[in-house]
Structure 1
Amino acid sequence: MKTYLVKQKFRMGGERFTINNDLGMVEYRVEGSFMKIPKTFTVFDVEGREVSHITKKPVTLLPRFTVQLKDGKSFDIHKKLTLFRDRYEIDDLGLRIEGNIWDLDFKLLDDRDQLVAEISKQVFTLTSTYEVTVYEEEYADLVISLCLAIDYVEMTENSS
């Protein structure tokens, strides 16, 4: 089990920031594109190897991202049009989501109903901060990438 702290540090320009574990040590480095269409984010591990590449689709009615993981797997995240509450759908993930994905307070479960990860937004912080607990380490890169994509959409919608 590993716990990470993801602090919202996105700006409308280029982004570079780190994601730390619960001991304060850097686990991931994130680099976002600047003035590039489509908007992209690349996540690196502490050794500088690419972990995932996140691409925002440029021409869509609602936000949509493709996440390409280093192992060749990929999945899409897209916002659903709903009347009352923002909702996301994740295609080709192989995991089930329970909870409130928009508020980043949810759990990921595998096909055997085993808890894989939990993501929860911390309250009473100046910037959006998420505690990400990954119970199955093989899913760490996927969960961090998922959290970043949704967090970016939240930031852009809150600033507009």
Structure 2
Amino acid sequence: MILRFKQRFFSWFDSYDIYDENGNTVYVVKGQFSWGHCLKIFDAYGEEVGTVKERIFTFMPKFEMYFKNQYVGCISREFALFKPKYNVECNGWNVEGNVLEWDYTVVSGSGHDVASISKELFNWTDTYLLNIYDPADALCVLMIVLAIDAEKCSRNNG
């Protein structure tokens, strides 16, 4: 399954559209006013399916994940010198990026690839291509990308 993650150009809060390979909207993400980033995820029918919410006052950046309104775990950045690394608490996944922080690989605890994430260059807004090997993992992979993008935004603007 391939998804294209594209930030909207004009928006007061973080907002994104996520498309499938045919250009159909699969998810819409809307930022909400809060301390730290709070991103609500809606499916193509407008039903809320998840939330990514930044925990504030932590040593390393952490983002809570909710499916509907149920807490399922968090995504946390790990200390690393040259390549960004993230741990996904709810399913034992690990995420490692390249030095430039444009490409990421999501790997399961057993060592198989779950998804690859690539930032598309030369766009007006943040745009990522998500190659997800099992469509059932799409929402969780989307949450990872939202957390990474929000963390980079906070670091670059903070």
TM-score range, shorter chain: 0.7 to 0.9
Q: Cα distance, 1:82 vs. partner?
A: 4.0
Match of 1:100 in 2: 98
- Separation (CA, whole Å) in 1 of partners of 2:129 and 2:80: 27
The 3-state SS of whatever aligns with 2:53 is strand
Match of 1:23 in 2: 22
- Separation (CA, whole Å) in 1 of partners of 2:99 and 2:143: 14
Match of 2:127 in 1: 129
Q: How many residues align?
A: 158
Instruction: Provide the identity percentage.
Output: 28
The 3-state SS of whatever aligns with 1:139 is helix
Among 83, 94, 116, the alignment partner of 1:118 is 116
Q: Cα distance, 1:108 vs. partner?
A: 2.4
Q: TM-score, normalised by structure 2?
A: 0.81
Match of 1:49 in 2: 47
Conservation of the 8 A alpha-carbon contact between 1:87 and 1:102: no
Match of 2:3 in 1: 4
Conservation of the 8 A alpha-carbon contact between 1:64 and 1:78: yes
Q: TM-score, normalised by structure 1?
A: 0.80
Conservation of the 8 A alpha-carbon contact between 1:6 and 1:20: yes
The 3-state SS of whatever aligns with 1:156 is helix
Kindly provide the CA deviation profile for residues 2-48 of structure 1, in whole angstroms up to 9, marking residues without a partner as x: 211112348894233321122221110111112x2253111011112
- Residue 78 of structure 1 aligns to which amino acid in structure 2? S
Match of 1:156 in 2: 154
The structure with higher relative contact order (CA 8 Å, sep 6+) is: 1
Q: Cα distance, 1:130 vs. partner?
A: 0.7
Conservation of the 8 A alpha-carbon contact between 1:88 and 1:101: no
- Separation (CA, whole Å) in 1 of partners of 2:137 and 2:123: 27
Conservation of the 8 A alpha-carbon contact between 1:95 and 1:109: yes
- Residue 16 of structure 1 aligns to which amino acid in structure 2? S
In structure 2, the CA distance between the partners of 1:118 and 1:4, relative to structure 1 (3 Å rule), is: same
Conservation of the 8 A alpha-carbon contact between 1:134 and 1:140: yes
| Coordinate RMSD, CA, aligned | 2.8
